[in-house]
Structure 1
Amino acid sequence: MLHHLSFAVRDLERAASFYDAVLASLGFVRVWSDDTAVGYGYPGGGDKLALKLVTEGIAIPGPGFHLALAASHRDQVDQFHAAALRHGGRDNGQPGLRPDYGPQYYAAFVIDPDGYRIEAVINAAE
């Protein structure tokens, strides 16, 4: 359904450093960049997430909004969470099973340096 999603960020270098690390843990890479934006996606493909430098007027969505990123296996979820904390993110839910969402739903939740809520998830048996 979605082609891509963009986040407005206050500090492009800080945000790109964070997303370079956390998205690498899930197999995504920086697919393009310029002085005002960075795009991430699968190697050799187009962007699925873009960061856009905005110097004023940013409104970060509040509770109820988050971006869930697909992991291929549980180790990637663990690596995502660890990378986020090492690169300026805040914990918003340790890696683990979420039985309320399903018996195989394994996820971790973080808040990025700008305040966006992001999740890495795999919903499959290991």
Structure 2
Amino acid sequence: MIDHLGIQVADPDASAALYTDVFGPLGLVELMTFDVPGGRVIGMGWDRKPFLWVSPAREDAACELHVALAAGSRDAVDAVHAAALARGVEVLHPPRLWPEYHPGYYAVFVRDLDGHNVEAVFHDWSVGA
């Protein structure tokens, strides 16, 4: 089981603002920050536990990453989509079922400020059961 994920980005403050705006409907909030050479590290999550961290990228560290954040319902996925559109974020794939993964896989995919593919997904295990 994965406990947390760190992503190197060009501007941690801007990235954290985007993530908390777009994925706020899932409950994602900024929980912790600390200074490091080159900027700040920002931990986001829900409740008290940061699980998604952004930190300043080294010049040689740029690469596309895919991460999926769990949503509690299809409505939450739709709310992420609405928040992304409201913020002008590139939507790679609007919300829909992805039966190639499993019959109840409902997700939206967006592109963050550094080109990462970030998904909000709801797993409805009652579909096709």
Shorter-chain-normalised TM-score: which range? 0.7 to 0.9
How is 1:10-89 mapped onto 2 (pairs within 5 angstroms)? 10-35=10-35, 36-43=40-47, 45-54=48-57, 56-61=59-64, 65-89=65-89
1:11, 1:110 → 2: CA distance?
18
Structure with the largest fraction of strand: 2
User: Share of identical aligned residues, percent?
Assistant: 39
Gaps of 5+ in 1: none
Displacement over 6 Å in runs of 4+: none
Gaps of at least 5 residues in structure 2 are: none
TM-score by structure 1 length?
Answer: 0.85
Aligned length: 122
SS in structure 1 at match of 2:14:
helix
Q: Show the counterpart of 1:120.
A: 120
Structure 2 Cα separation of the partners of residues 112 and 53 of structure 1: 15
TM-score (norm 2): 0.84
| Structure whose CA Rg is larger | 2
Q: Which amino acid is the alignment partner of residue 20 of structure 1? A: T
AA paired with 2:50? D
Given that residues 8 and 54 in structure 1 are in contact (C-alpha distance below 8 angstroms), is that contact kept between their aligned partners in structure 2? yes
Distance 1:8 1:55, change over 3 A: same
